[in-house]
Amino acid sequence: MTRRDSPTGGPNDGRGERSVTLSTGETVSLPLSTEGTVLGAVFSARRDGLRELLPAGLEPIRVAPRRAAVTFLSASYRRVGDGTIAPYDEFAVVVPAVHKPTAVPFASLLRRGASGYVWFLPVTTDPARALGTDVWGFPKVVADISHEDDASRRRTTVTVDGERLLAFEAKRPKAVRRRESGGAYSVEGGRLLRAPVEVDGDVGVWPYTGAASVEFGDHPRARRLRSLDIGGRALARFVVDGETVFAVGEPVEPAR
């Protein structure tokens, strides 16, 4: 069981400070401050296929007729909160989405490609899994994740339950110090939640690039992704190196 202790905000106050004891025994403070490096890329995919991955109340962000966006994020956290949880690696598959029928400028998508519905989130430790599932309802699983880093690029391979999920590679774009904000959608207890996310660090974005790729394995989730007809050329690649703060999820509207 997850125990929430000493809340200072109301039950729906996602920005209120509180502590949470995870099912694995660790206690973390929220909002959660982390430090790490994330390389990611945004690709186009079949819009109807991406819509099937989303809960009720969300729509994928359209990037072309019958095409929408999907984002792959390779993360290495060197600090998590106050150190109660050890550093870990993570790989996220995110569907950029909105919960209201509104147009999203393409420039905004490039800057906020990491925001959206978290569809799959392998991590390398059990406390990291509990952190995501207990607090936000993220679909985290423990997996084997390896990064091969050099000065210009990162290659990440992810294996889940002994089956290859994917291999991802991206070249690091030049970065400058900046702040960005976004949000991560999840479903917990049948409710659609949005967790505000704030970034303060070195951020770089490069649009329309061939310097990012993803290759899928034989895991069931990989087969599902392969069926989306993901574009061979990325809409954008990006890097974030610095602090990312995750707030508690705020209810948006009921999910099916």
Write out the chain's pLDDT in tens, 256 residues: 454 443 333 333 445 689 999 999 999 999 999 999 999 999 999 999 999 999 999 999 999 999 999 999 999 999 999 999 999 999 999 999 988 655 555 555 555 556 899 999 999 999 999 999 999 999 999 999 999 999 899 999 999 999 999 999 999 999 999 999 999 999 998 899 999 999 999 999 999 999 999 999 999 999 999 999 999 999 999 999 999 999 999 999 654 4
Are 96 and 59 within 8 A, CB to CB?
no
* CA–CA separation, 154 and 23 (whole Å): 33
Among 71, 36, 241, 40, CA closest to 156? 40
With b for 16 or more beta-carbon neighbours within 10 A and e for fewer, the 183-201 pattern comes to bbbbbbeebbbbbbbbbbb
Its pTM stands at 0.90
| Residue 47 Rama label (left phi>0; alpha psi -120 to 50; beta) | alpha
Please state which of the four CATH numbers 3.20.20.140, 2.30.30.140, 3.40.50.170, 2.40.400.10 is assigned to the domain occupying 34-254.
2.40.400.10
